[in-house]
Structure 1
Amino acid sequence: MLRVVNRVLLGLVGLALLCVGGGVLATGLGVSVPSWWPYTGRKDVLLSDADRDRWREQSWWWPVVIAVLAALVLLTLWWLLSQLRRARLAEVLVDTGDGEGALLRGRAMEDVLESEARSLDGVARARVRLTGRRTAPRARVRLLLEPHAAPGRALERLTTEAVAHARDSAGLAALPTEARLRAAKHRAQRVT
């Protein structure tokens, strides 16, 4: 859901910037623009002398404008960099032992590791995400533990069973794993 919202928002911002930029370019080239467009000719400016003079007496105005614009630039740069970062590992390179390699879909390995972690005693829900490089994947596991589960035992079984099986089946030398455990909230029930 978040990916869809992000892409729709990114598309709308891009479309708005394209329209505004096209309008400014058309005005600068002398092309006829609609009457509601704020710029009417080549010599038109964003802020006229009267507009700049009106705010000159306010000592806070220009520092605030510059700070807001700088924050906006930093926010859009952060957003752009977050778009370029891949959140999930698409494939894992599996050593087949004969000098060749095979590619395993990252989602397939995540699904298997997730289902095995979910089948452990005391685990109510499990989420797995693979990150890193395809030759050196890393796993991020989030477990929701049932109220009766012992966290130490669940973590031990996760590493010795689920993660070890995934590591061995993919032929990896190591599969560094970050596990986050959270306890399920026990709901009180009425006894009659």
Structure 2
Amino acid sequence: MLRTVDRVLLALVGLVLLALGLAVLFAGFDLPRRWGVTMPADWPWSGPEDVVLTDAERTRWTDEGWWWPVALAVLAVLFLLFLWWLLAQLRWQRLDGVEVDSRDGEGAVLRGRALEDAVAAEAESQPGIDRARVVLTGKRGRPRARVGLVLTAHAKPGPAVHRLYREALAHAVTSAGLQELPAEVRMRAARHRAERVS
């Protein structure tokens, strides 16, 4: 619910800013006069000679030494906040629960974090895998897994991925009563620091 509210608010803020920008461009290109459009009497921009901020508004606090640093800092913070807000909407949403078919017609919900931890623990117990991280995304009834594997120094990627699909992911599908669990696997080799031998 909160994610939907965030997206609606972000869309509204974007539409307001877009409308303001288009209004300034509309006046800047002198389109009201060219198209014969009469703007409201209190409309701030009606022609190319109009400015967004008047001289009085722009120079109100310029004699104060704090004005420009504060104005620029506030604008920078607002820009970063809106950028962070936008990127937060685009991030993959971690799945909080997975619907489990309990065979009684009722169903149940398994915590997503519990299933992630179980798959990661089983993957880490397999030979050739040093560490595993699992994140569930998608929908409760059709989850997807994003798996990050850190392979040991001499492990072969092919057999490691094959064992992951055949064992850890297959056991997750069976235990949660899922039809399938599509997975994206990313691998990297473990890095060990060189040690001085004396």
TM-score by length of structure 1 reads 0.59
Letter in 2 for 1:128: V
**2:142 counterpart of 1:136:** yes
Give aligned pairs, total. 137
Could you tell me how far apart the structure 1 residues matched to 2:130 and 2:177 are?
29
**2:150 counterpart of 1:147:** no
Counterpart position of 2:56: 49
Q: Percent identity?
A: 56
1:107-133 deviation digits (Å, cap 9, x = unpaired): 110110010011010111111111111
Distance 1:123 1:85, change over 3 A: closer
**2:84 counterpart of 1:79:** yes
After TM superposition, the structure 1 stretch with the greater mean CA deviation from structure 2, 75-84 or 125-134, is: 75-84
Distance 1:50 1:103, change over 3 A: closer
Letter in 1 for 2:85: L
Counterpart position of 1:123: 129
Counterpart position of 2:112: 106
Could you tell me how far apart the structure 1 residues matched to 2:197 and 2:99 are?
55
Counterpart position of 1:24: none
Letter in 2 for 1:139: A
Could you tell me how far apart the structure 2 residues matched to 1:84 and 1:189 are?
42
Counterpart position of 1:156: 162
| Gaps in structure 2 of 5+ consecutive residues | 1-52, 60-74
- Alpha-carbon offset, residue 73 of structure 1: 7.0
- Alpha-carbon offset, residue 148 of structure 1: 1.0
Letter in 2 for 1:80: W
1:99-157 deviation digits (Å, cap 9, x = unpaired): 22011111110110010011010111111111111111111110000011000010000
1:7-47 deviation digits (Å, cap 9, x = unpaired): xxxxxxxxxxxxxxxxxxxxxxxxxxxxxxxxxxxxxxx86
Counterpart position of 2:3: none
Could you tell me how far apart the structure 1 residues matched to 2:54 and 2:161 are?
62
Letter in 1 for 2:105: G
Counterpart position of 1:174: 180
| Gaps in structure 1 of 5+ consecutive residues | 1-45, 53-68
Letter in 2 for 1:184: A
Distance 1:72 1:159, change over 3 A: same
Distance 1:134 1:190, change over 3 A: same
TM-score by length of structure 2 reads 0.58
1:158-177 deviation digits (Å, cap 9, x = unpaired): 00000000011100001010
